[in-house]
Structure 1
């Protein structure tokens, strides 16, 4: 009489992780793909100087936001919880709403030493904000399991910064003629536009700002 081998000794199934994905997870991946595409498009703009790549990057950002909005709705509609959902969503958001806006800012002209420091601060705030949300979401949830409010501004609000960059591009105020001008502070330079990234990052990690979750 043969017995089934213990679970620990059973051969591992190929692509077992993908088999755990639900529909919402694939939508979340689409969000990450859009953000990564925006970063690569910004890099291609720097390599070629073709503004078409920059506009493609700007166009991918609303797509990322739409997919970020849809994944939660689909998850609730399908009534099937994903074991990867929360972490996958946070990682995709870091790419789309943290790194992509920073990469776009660098591409349009925020390349001074203090500019780069401001962009790194912004990305660090986005990562910290998402980590805090994952840790505290259970405490902030009501009886139905829905989070009542955000502590600090949600990271997708960084699309407001992208809109400013798009306006600057439309007005041909990028590069050496970047919108807002430049301040020379000794051996380093700072574009005032970078301060918007500092303000956005600080708002994301604020404990006093409470934004109702729709």
Structure 2
């Protein structure tokens, strides 16, 4: 009596996850790479004091925006999107338009305890805004499947904050010379300029503010 031999297990292919990526996913990763590069450049500025690194960070931010704009267009143009596409996009956006602007604010001088609390609030708002969009996008879409409007401002609007920091850097108004100076509230320090981050974060999580999607 013969017994059936167990079937050989099919060997897993190397880089099997990467093989599932489509072109749009690699563009999305480019967005995340640009944002990460901006964060590392801000850290390099803090380590060396060389302002050139700040300008590298500022230059990478528009590149992240271009990548964020292109990935959806490429997916629609090629009629291809992967199951990971939406999550990849949100994670890249958190890095590029949440963490990177906060890191730049810290690098240019917003390092007081209250500054850090505001920056943490800003990043938390960005994460929450993207999570809410992923959950509610089906409800907000029209018959064609496209989202008609955003609830709250899209997270890439944080590039407006980066532009403010770039202008301040160009005018030499960072660090000890920061616009608005610093408020000392007992042992705590707050730079009024950081309140722009509080306003931006609050606008992201607004339920009543509706922005038409172009």
TM-score of the superposed pair, with normalisation by structure 2: 0.96
**Counterpart for residue 45 of structure 1:** 45
**Is contact 2:150-2:213 (8 Å) kept?**
yes
Residue 138 to residue 191, structure 1, CA distance change in 2 (3 Å): same
> Take 2:52 and 2:34, find their aligned partners in 1: how far apart are those partners?
16
Structure 2 counterpart of 1:10: 10
Distance 2:34 2:49 in 1: 21
What is the Cα deviation at residue 5 of structure 1? 4.1
- Which residue of the partner structure matches residue 138 of structure 2? 138
Q: Where does 1:44-83 land on structure 2 (aligned, <5 Å)?
A: 44-83=44-83
Residue 193 of structure 1 aligns to a residue whose secondary structure is helix
Q: Structure 1 length normalisation: TM-score?
A: 0.96
**Over aligned residues, Cα RMSD in angstroms?**
1.4
Q: Which runs of 5+ in 1 are unaligned?
A: none
Q: How many residues align?
A: 211
Q: Which residue of 1 aligns with 2:158?
A: 158
Which residue number in structure 2 is paired with residue 119 of structure 1? 119
Does structure 1 retain, via aligned residues, the 8 Å contact 2:24–2:81?
A: no
Instruction: State the shift of 1:205 in Å.
Output: 0.3
How much has 1:12 moved relative to structure 2? 1.5
Deviation at 1:10, TM superposition (A): 2.2
User: Which residue of structure 2 lines up, in the alignment, with residue 31 of structure 1?
Assistant: 31
Partner of 1:103: 103
Gapped runs of 5+ residues in structure 2? none
Corresponding residue for 2:188? 188
Aligned to 2:213: 213
CA distance in 2, matches of 1:81, 1:127: 23
Local SS of the residue matching 2:192: coil
* Separation (CA, whole Å) in 1 of partners of 2:181 and 2:73: 42
CA distance, structure 1, for counterparts of residue 171 and residue 23 of structure 2? 40
